[in-house]
Amino acid sequence: MSAPSRDLPPARLDDAACCVCARSAIGFGYAPRDSHGRVGSPIIWVCDDPDCLDIAKDSYEMKQGEFDRVEAMAVIDGLECGRRQAMEIGTSDLAEMTDDQRLDFARAIVAGYRSALKVKIRDEAPF
């Protein structure tokens, strides 16, 4: 894993997780180059989605507090996706759901979070 930095959120430096959508990172990363063409900053890692690499480049300088704020909004959106899935299932009680329904419910939350995080980071990036 890359060395932590006080300027970038630790989760964004984790080489196992995409810094944009939190999926598994697969070895693609981004870090700005210095005037000599060398990578001198911590690398942020991404998944195989080309959008994530573009968003990572645009949002590289995002500070911890800003990322936390954006991530909190994405969590709320993910939970809303879970709420809609529970309404479709007909219950929000996990004990009443079948295994497949619980899996669909969890996937709806995770997918909603990932999607919202990508959109919100892209919208917040300093262009």
Instruction: Please state the domain extents for the chain.
Output: 10-124
Per-residue model confidence (pLDDT) at position 93 = 96
Determine if residue 104 is left, alpha or beta; phi over 0 gives left, psi from -120 to 50 gives alpha, anything else beta: alpha
Structure tokens at 96: 């009443």
Distance from C-alpha of 87 to C-alpha of 12, rounded to nearest angstrom:
33
What's the predicted TM-score (pTM) here?
0.72
pLDDT for position 118 = 87
- Residue 2, pLDDT score: 44
Residues in the chain where the model's pLDDT stays below 70:
1-12, 125-127
Q: What is the H or E stretch that residue 29 is in?
A: strand 28-30
Say which amino acid occupies 104: D
Q: Is 80 exposed, middle or buried (0-12, 13-18, 19+ CB in 10 A)?
A: middle
The DSSP 8-state label assigned to residue 3 in this structure reads: P
**φ and ψ at residue 10, rounded to 5 degrees:** -55, -40
- Count helices and strands in the chain by DSSP H and E runs: 4, 2
